[in-house]
Amino acid sequence: MGSQMSKNIKVLIVDDEKEITKTIERYLTFFEGIDLFTAESYVEALKIIESEEPKVIISDVNLGDGNGLDLIKVAHKYTKSNQIIMITGASDTTKVIDALELGAVDYIKKPLDMEELKQRLDEACSRYRRWEQLIIEELKKNR
């Protein structure tokens, strides 16, 4: 377990409902191992993805100025290992299927249950760390 593994994982929360991002942010602030970013629009999320390259993204499917599904495509341009979890309303079932086909790893239904959100986030962080570890091992082999 080198210094690579001790780094916090950058997590981006995207929802155009300010109350939701604030609630999630307040809840997750107390947990260690993550650096939290929030965005309340598609454009804001794109800027954070480009500048910070978050490894875990939790995004609403419907954003006021764009589509959460498009964020999956953008995030995967940077790295295929990004763990993307979609937040969906009850009527968004077809969009959930689209999201999973585009490479989202999970989805959570509204109204959000914070404990469930945290559990899904933990799973996503674990998956990312395992992926990262594989890459490090491959790089060592190929030296």
How far is the CA of 123 from the CAs of 31, 56, 65, in angstroms? Answer: 14, 10, 29
Question: For residues 99 and 105, what is the distance between their CA atoms, to the nearest angstrom?
Answer: 8
Within a 13 Å sphere around the CA of 49, how many CA atoms are in the beta-carbon half?
26
How much of the chain, in percent, has pLDDT values that exceed 70?
Answer: 96
Check residue 6 and give its pLDDT: 55
Check residue 80 and give its pLDDT: 75
- Superfamily assignment of 3-141 in CATH? Response regulator (3.40.50.2300)
**Residue 93: pLDDT band with limits 50, 70, 90:** confident
Check residue 4 and give its pLDDT: 46
Residues 25-39: pLDDT tens digits?
Answer: 999 998 999 999 999
Cross-strand bridge partners of residue 59: 14, 86
Positive or negative CA dihedral for 87, 89, 90, 92? negative
Question: For residues 50 and 33, what is the distance between their CA atoms, to the nearest angstrom?
Answer: 21
Question: At residue 3, does pLDDT exceed 80?
Answer: no
Check residue 1 and give its pLDDT: 39
